[in-house]
Structure 1
Amino acid sequence: MASSPSQSRYQSPPYPSASKLSDSMCYAAYAASLKYSEANDPVYNQLCQPIHENLLGPNSQIHEERVGGDTIKGILHDILLSGDGADNYTRGASDINVQDKFVFFDNPTFQGNASAKARLRALRSRGKRSQKHMSMRQHRQCGSFDFPRKYQRYDIFLPMHEMWKEYIGELLRNCRKKSIEQCLLAADFHGAILAVVESKNKSFIGVQGIMVRETVNTFGILTSENKFRVVPKKGSVFIFQFDFWRVTLHGDKLPSRKLNQADT
Structure 2
Amino acid sequence: MAETLRVASVNVNGIRAAFRKGMGEWLATSGVDVLALQEVRADNSHIEELLGGDWHILHDPCQIKGRAGVAIASRMPSTAHRIGLGAPDTQESIQSSGRWLEADFMLGSTPITVISNYTHSGEVDTPKQEAKWAFLDAMGERMNELMDEREFVAIVGDFNVGHRELDIKNWRGNVKRSGFLPRERSYFDRFFGPRGEIVTGVDGTEGAGYGWIDVGRRFAGEVDGPYTWWSNRGQAFDNDTGWRIDYQVVTPALAERVEDYRVDRYPSYDTRWSDHAPVIVDYRA
Higher strand share: 2
TM-score interval, normalised by the smaller of the two chains: under 0.3
With a CA cutoff of 8 Å and minimum separation of 6, indicate the structure with the bigger relative contact order.
Answer: 2
TM-score normalised by L of structure 1: 0.19
Query: More helix by proportion, 1 or 2?
Result: 1
Q: Which structure's CA Rg is the greater one?
A: 1
